[in-house]
Structure 1
Amino acid sequence: MDYHESPEATKLAERAREFVDEIVIPTEREQLGGGPPDDDVIADLREKARDRAVYCPQIDEEYGGMGLEFRDVLPLFEEAGRSLLGPAAMRVDAPDEGNMHTLELVGTERQKAEYLAPLVSGEIRSAFAMTEPRDGGGSDPKMLSTTAESDGDEYVINGHKWWTTQGRHADVLLTMAITDPDAHPYNGASIVLVPADADGVEFVRDIPHLGPDLDGHGHSEFRFDDVRVPRENLLGEEHTGFTIAQQRLGPARLTHCMRFSGMATRALTIAKAYMSDRSAFGTSLSNKQSLRYEIADAETGLHGARTMIRHAAREITRGEESRIPVSMSKVFAADVAQDAIDLAIQCCGGAGMSRDLPLADFYEAVRAFRLVDGADEVHKRVIARDAFDGAVDHLDELENLPRF
């Protein structure tokens, strides 16, 4: 399907596709069933990504990226998503990708030098510490309970976080905390850069979870007990944490959509190859009408998702918040990607369930997509609120209805 990308986006995607096919997928096959790859495996992939000019295209050249426009890098994200190792190899992996974007957007020059450039190069890792255990902030972020109290030229942070992706490996935690307890949470929270080795930061555990080990991220639980960090570690303006989080999450949700779109695309590719090769009841599976129609539905859904994502990305590139298109893209892409991967497993039968193929890992990974970066229900709430906005202004449409 031709989406009429810019020449830069088309060339970048072509290079990324070749890199994934020739380098990443063969490495993935060596790692299947063996747990997270060693750091030297990822380092080697990243060096090869640099050689092929597909490394960190979304960050400005000043900090070690390629400096391309957001909508032009999205096709690369889709190519990266075709392998669980692809995003890390091309340095478009969550959560670092979203955190790098946030630092580039609102970080001070000191913060960019200390954290952004090393993140781009892969020297350090980061995490976004926002979600809290019951009864803290989760799908309703207004319930945020972690605090960062001002004490002279320092913040004193106390709280409890979990589902902090990559937390165990992180060198810095972008920590959302209440800085003005008297204000509405949307106007009283801030993001503070907390070194993971700061006194009072306690790594509690990695949460056992549904999902593959091949990405090696993990999701961590932390406690903050009188953690002191300098006020210069404030990211952006004080009390604007939710505004910054929305600026981070909009693009990050779309990059998630593209990565999982790529995953679903590869799942269908594997399924179609298997169906063409496997015969049953006198013909190949690819000639069975019911399966052909299901593949057609999956391909149609993915085309719809890609189109929605590109529309939302154009709006963001134009400087629009694009909140409704992003929410629609997130819900729709998560559903069609999950359905496509589930179908791929069904089409491959026992082979689909085995760890000889990546489909089982894909299946576990995609289920989380309906929760991460906002559960389906949260996004549907946003979409429905917009849909009903102004509905009462059209009650005249009902004037001729009989009353009972």
Structure 2
Amino acid sequence: MDFTLDADLEAIRRRTRAFVETRILPVEADRSAWDAHDNIAEAPLRALRAEARAEGLWCPQVPRDLGGMGLTVSGRAVMYEEANRSIFGPAVFNCAAPDDGNMDILARVGRPDQQARWLAPLVTGDVRSSFVMTEPAPGGGSDPGMIGTTATRHGDVWRVTGRKWFITGAEGAAHFILIARTDPNPEERRRHLTAFLFHRDQPGWRILRRIPIMGPEEHGGHCELAFDGLKIPDENRLMGVGDGLKVTQIRLGTARLTHCMRWLGLAKRCMAEAQAYVDAREGFGIRLADRESVRLMLGGVALNIQIGRLLTMNAAAALDRGSHARKEVSMAKLHVADTLHQAADVAIQLNGARGYSRDTVLEWIYRYARQARLVDGASEVHRMVLADAYAREGDDFWGWGA
């Protein structure tokens, strides 16, 4: 397998890296540019987004004819890794979750009129969006077959009732993709879900609370929502009745992997912060960088980052070939989530009290990293996916193609 980047993709990688270095990192270093939830504030975000668009570094996941860069999944792996060298990078390039996955699914399965209404404002950056699936127990979480929120049809209108929670970005979103049960038969688990589009100004739903979380937040937080009669015209149904699970699988397969791409960028940032400190810091007559124990710690992280990059690129290539790449994505998700946490932990340890303070970005990454083993399927769920695949495939599990 040849991982050499072609000239165009290498140019994008270099331009992205330079933009992060010269434009975004100085803003990140200025705490006055942060909002109350430890994300980039709106004014500096608008300014940087305008510069990114002028540089042609905008919406890498969206096809060119819809206003984006039209990168393949493999191409996104290269750019996203560079983008998330800064904690603000993905938001600046308009490839942060959940908008990233929502734009991807709308570009892939939305009708042209739906793309004009629901996708185009996301591509221009005029609005944000949210994906509304997860529910409180006993509703659906990692198992979407348990979703209890219902959409009942009345002529050409669907009426939605139920409860959702941990809905990322909901407080700041204008456009929503909702997954609800449309078949009342509880035994029909695979054909009972349908996807819908709705706008924040429609009556019949409300945000109950913005859930306080341990880590820094995406714009719009993580919210609990109640639906008490939201009416959605049938024209705002995404794909067919009963295709909600398909929508979810199409969206989340790539979205899980784009998380890995971004997390690798953060893990590399942790390595850079750690290396810079141990190169300069001396104790007991020796540089930290010259101590064998320190070199072993950094070498272990470097190894795991590279393994994560290879797993991620392997899964991206499989997706580009048209495979669902379920086990490939699960392997990448598992490994990269663990690696991000390891990288942040090691970097804080090597920086000592400085790393635990807010004088560096490491404590931000450490708090953020803990969610990586939960979002888009807990690690245990992905291990079950791999165990099931092995039980079916035996030695073919380790085949050379997906």
Q: TM range, normalised to the smaller chain?
A: over 0.9
Secondary structure (helix, strand or coil) at the match of 2:230 reads strand
**What's the CA shift for 1:26?**
0.6
1:103 alignment partner in structure 2:
106
Deviation at 1:315, TM superposition (A): 0.7
Contact in 2 for aligned 1:178/1:185 (Cα 8 Å): no
Q: Contact 2:159–2:231 (CA<8 Å) still a contact in 1?
A: yes
Aligned equivalents of 1:325, 1:112: Cα separation in 2: 30
Q: Is 1:25 aligned to residue 25 of structure 2?
A: yes
AA matched with 1:31: R
Alignment map for 1:55-204 (pairs within 5 Å): 55-182=58-185, 184-204=188-208
Contact conserved, 2:172 with 2:219, CA < 8 A, in 1? no
How has the CA–CA distance of structure 1 residues 50 and 390 changed in structure 2, closer, same or farther, with 3 Å as cutoff?
closer
1:49/1:90 contact within 8 Å kept: yes
Distance 1:175-1:24 versus aligned 2 partners, 3 A rule: same
Q: Among 260, 265, 268, which residue is 2:268 paired with? A: 265
Of 327, 331, 351, which residue of structure 1 is paired with 2:330?
A: 327
Partner-residue secondary structure (3-state), 1:184: coil
Q: Distance in 2 between matches of 1:38 and 1:81?
A: 17
Aligned to 1:303: 306
Equivalent of 1:357, from 353, 357, 360? 360
| Deviation at residue 34 of structure 1 after TM alignment | 5.4
Give yes or no for contact 2:122–2:128 (8 Å, CA) kept in 1.
Answer: yes
User: Does the Cα contact within 8 Å between 1:31 and 1:37 map onto a contact in 2?
Assistant: no
- Partner amino acid, structure 2, of 1:24: I
Structure 1 stretch displaced more, 56-65 or 258-267: 56-65
**Aligned counterpart, 2:236:** 233
- Compute the displacement of 1:80 (Å): 1.3
The root-mean-square deviation of aligned C-alpha atoms, in Å, is 1.6
Query: 1:396 — aligned with what?
Result: none
The aligned residue for residue 402 of structure 1 is none
CA separation of 1:225/1:140 partners in 2, compared to 1, >3 Å: closer, same or farther? Answer: same
CA deviation profile, 1:281-328 (whole Å, cap 9, x unmatched): 111110110110110010000000000110110110011111000000
The equivalent residue for 1:247 is 250
Alignment coverage as a number of residue pairs: 391
State TM-score, norm by structure 2.
0.94
CA distance, structure 2, for counterparts of residue 34 and residue 173 of structure 1: 23
1:228 aligns to what SS in structure 2?
strand
| Aligned: 1:378 with 2:381 | yes
Question: How far 1:110 sits from its partner (Å)?
Answer: 1.4
**Alpha-carbon deviation of 1:57?**
1.7
- Give per-residue Cα distances to partners, 1:164-197, cap 9 Å, x unaligned: 0000011122111011122522211011112122
1:8 and 1:72 in contact (8 A); partners too: no
Q: Secondary structure at the match of 1:99?
A: helix
Structure 2, unaligned stretches of length 5 or more? 396-402
Which residue pairs with 2:4 in the alignment? 4
Q: Distance in 1 between matches of 2:349 and 2:393?
A: 44
Is the contact made by 1:193 and 1:234 (CA closer than 8 Å) also made in structure 2? yes
8 Å CA contact retained: 1:254, 1:309? yes
* Residue correspondence of structure 1 range 31-70 to structure 2 within 5 A: 31=31, 35=36, 36-70=39-73
User: Equivalent residue of 2:141, what SS?
Assistant: coil
Counterpart for residue 281 of structure 2: 278
Deviation at 1:69, TM superposition (A): 1.9
Distance 1:365 1:340 in 2: 12
1:302-356 alpha-carbon deviations (Å, 9 max, x no partner): 0000001101101100111110000000001101111111100001001101111
The amino acid that maps onto 1:204 is L
1:165 and 1:217 in contact (8 A); partners too: yes
Would you say 1:368 and 2:371 are equivalent positions? yes
Q: Which runs of 5+ in 1 are unaligned?
A: 393-404
Query: SS at 2:225's partner residue?
Result: strand
Q: What is the distance in 2 between the residues matched to 1:97 and 1:34?
A: 21
| More moved, 365-374 vs 180-189 | 180-189
Distance in structure 1 (CA, Å) of the matches to 2:393 and 2:103: 38
What residue number does 1:397 align with? none
Offset, 1:38:
2.7
Please state how far the C-alpha of 1:81 moved relative to its aligned partner. Answer: 1.3
Cα offset for 1:109?
Answer: 1.2
* SS of residue matched to 1:253: helix
Say if 1:59 and 1:66, in contact at 8 Å, map to a contact too: yes
Q: What TM-score, normalized by structure 1, do the two folds share?
A: 0.94
Q: CA deviation at 1:219?
A: 0.3
